[in-house]
Structure 1
């Protein structure tokens, strides 16, 4: 688990989710393999999508693998849920067909939870608790569908960035084309893209301990430039912007 060591900023990186509290938010156009919930504590969040109208709200959900950019001028919570580990959050977001504001009882409950801990949002345990509580509420409003077992086994194998993709595919017992179709249906992205996403997450955690080049190579990236381009494309920030102040505990 990680946290940002800065009095105004906090973050947690866990297996099922990542959370970041910041004084403001501005991301460039990107598509992340995670279900995002963006919450403006005092101001609205604005999410823009290519060729579409801007979506604004105090809480906005964005489904996995959707191209978007996001901004908020004031304190913001950004929660990103792993769609394979907590599929009900991804299901909730996908049902809305794209970036969508959330209000009503869900926003009110989350506002209450945040208000109770407003002075402690830099603490990893507080952010962890908020993320788990929100996931629990979303579970009550989301459909549940289990992926094909063969797809699930490939997903599990490829969580290791050193895994041999060809071997994982061969062990599934299906033709590569058939498995690829099932994988895209159940996961939302091709196998190669999923493996790249996992490598990015591993590299970012390593980058808090070692230099960027070692982090990139250790996670299986060809070079530092590839790591940086992937981070921009999938998360909307450079590795350095995400790493600044990050410590592992």
Structure 2
């Protein structure tokens, strides 16, 4: 579990989820491998998607692999769930084919929980607790969607960013082409993109204790520029913005 710059923002990164509390949020267009849940404390969150009308609400859900940008002028909680380790959240988010505002009793429950912990959002244990609680509530809203067993084994092997996917493929006894097709079907992205996503998570988590260049090298990026480009493309922020919390 990593923590980023507690004095300016609260953020926690684990295998199953990442959660961030910020005073304001404004991201560029990006595509992330994760289902997002965005909760505004004092006002609406706006999500913009290419070719679609903007979506606004106090709670907005964004499915994995959906190009989008986020704007929220006030305090905001952003949660990102791993589609494999929190498959029920990913299934729920995918249900409408794009971002959508959450309404009704469930939305009120999420808002109420956030408001109750408003004074403690810089504490990693509080953020992690909210992420677990939100995921548990969503279990009742959507069935689990698990990848095929052989793809699940490959996913487990590839959670180490520098793992050789060909070795994992050989153990499945599938041809490389067949494996790549099944991987995209069950995971939603090519194998190499998944590995790049895992490398990015390692680098962002390492930023809690290292400078950006050292974090990039630790995660296997060629240089800081590659890390920065990947971070903007997949998360909508530069590594500097994520680390400092200057998100307004």
Give the shorter-chain TM-score range: over 0.9
Q: Which residue of 1 aligns with 2:233?
A: 233
Aligned to 2:102: 102
Shift of 1:30: 0.2
Corresponding residue for residue 48 of structure 1: 48
Is residue 27–residue 69 contact of structure 2 (8 Å, CA) maintained in 1? yes
Structure 2 residue 188 is the aligned partner of structure 1 residue 182: no
Aligned position for 2:200: 200
SS of match in other structure, 1:217: helix
After superposition, the C-alpha distances for 1:11-44 in whole angstroms (9 at most, x for unaligned) are 1112211111111100000000000001111110
Q: In 1, Cα distance between the equivalents of 2:173 and 2:190?
A: 18
Residue in 2 aligned with 1:131?
Answer: 131
Correspondence list, 1:74-153, <5 A:
74-153=74-153
Greater shift, 174-183 or 216-225, is seen at 216-225
CA RMSD of aligned residues (A): 1.3
Distance of 1:153 and 1:239 partners within structure 2: 31
Question: Unmatched 5+ residue regions in structure 2?
Answer: none
Q: Which moved more, 1:140-149 or 1:185-194?
A: 140-149
Distance 1:81 1:145 in 2: 14
1:221 aligns with 2:221: yes
The count of residues paired between Structure 1 and Structure 2 equals: 245
Q: Residues 219-242 of structure 1: CA distance to partner in whole angstroms, max 9, x if unpaired?
A: 121222111110000000001111
CA deviation after TM superposition for structure 1 residue 6, in Å: 4.1
Q: Which moved more, 1:155-164 or 1:112-121?
A: 112-121
| Kept in 1: contact 2:5–2:208 (CA 8 A) | no
- Compute the TM-score of the two structures, normalised by the length of structure 1: 0.94
- Residues of 2 paired with 1:204 and 1:112: CA distance? 29
Task: For residue 216 of structure 1, report the CA deviation from its aligned partner.
Answer: 1.6
Match of 1:15 in 2: 15
Contact 2:41 2:115 in 1 (8 A): no
Residue 3 of structure 1 deviates from its aligned partner by: 2.6
8 Å CA contact retained: 2:31, 2:67: yes
Q: Is the 8 A contact 2:3 2:205 kept in 1?
A: no
Partners of 1:150 and 1:176 lie apart in 2 by 13
Asked if the contact 2:38–2:78 (Cα under 8 Å) also holds between the matched residues in 1, the reply is yes
Rounded to whole Å, the distance in 2 between the matches of 1:86 and 1:7 is 29
Give the deviation of 1:151 after TM superposition.
Answer: 0.5
In the TM superposition, residue 8 of structure 1 has moved relative to its aligned partner by 5.6
Unaligned runs of 5+ in 1: none
Instruction: Tell me the SS of whatever aligns to 1:89.
Output: helix
Residue in 1 aligned with 2:171? 171
Residue 42 of structure 2 corresponds to residue 67 of structure 1: no
2: CA distance, partners of 1:187 / 1:46? 27
| 3-state SS, counterpart of residue 56 of structure 1 | strand
1:7 to partner: Cα distance: 4.5
Q: Contact 2:28/2:237 (CA < 8 Å) preserved in 1? A: yes
2:20 alignment partner, SS class: strand
